[in-house]
Amino acid sequence: MSQATSEFSKISRHDNLFEEQVHDAYKARAKLREPSVCSQCGSVYHEGRWQWLLAPVNAHQELCPACHRIHDHYPAGFLSLKGEFFQSHYDEIMHLIHNYEKHERAEHPLKRIMAVEEKDGGTLVTTTDIHLARGMGEALHKAYQGELEFHYNAGQNLLRVHWTH
């Protein structure tokens, strides 16, 4: 097992790991000035959270955590998709992935897909949020079954989800 992989521990689908035990470097260290607007995506920090609202004229400019991760190319979630079933149903499965992200992003601006790339005979989807990667894996498993594994690195607040079918 490589050094990078050894820092990840396998968890069950039902572990409640998402009570973040470490500080996420992409979350604000102090309360942001309100209202703030993300200079990249236009989301607005209001009432203590990022939302899709019309930005007030006097809003402070601030990069939201999702845009910051995208800019730095530093995903929080990794969803690895492999298998013969996946390959033969690629378009249908990717449609489910993108619809899931669209639904989550509509309510939570910080939950976004960063990239989709073909890698090692499968597809790797990177996300700005660990919860999004986990939810997409759960949605795939619910719709198509297959094998689903979660590996969490608490020190870096990273989640790797592997779905094979």
What pLDDT was estimated at residue 7? 67
Are 96 and 68 members of one domain? no
Summarised one tens digit per residue, pLDDT across range 113-143 is 999 999 888 999 999 999 999 999 999 999 9
Are 50 and 128 members of one domain? no
| Residue 96 domain boundaries | 75-164
Residue 23 dihedral angles phi and psi, to the nearest 5°: -80, 130
What pLDDT was estimated at residue 157? 86
Residues 123 and 129: their CA atoms lie apart, in Å, by: 18
Summarised one tens digit per residue, pLDDT across range 80-103 is 999 999 999 999 999 999 999 999
List CB contacts of 49: < 8 A, sequence separation 6 or more.
Answer: none
Integer CA distances (angstroms), 155 to 43, 71, 87, 100, 127, in order? 28, 22, 33, 27, 18
Summarised one tens digit per residue, pLDDT across range 11-42 is 666 555 545 444 566 776 667 888 999 999 99
| DSSP for residue 34 | S
Are 56 and 79 members of one domain? no
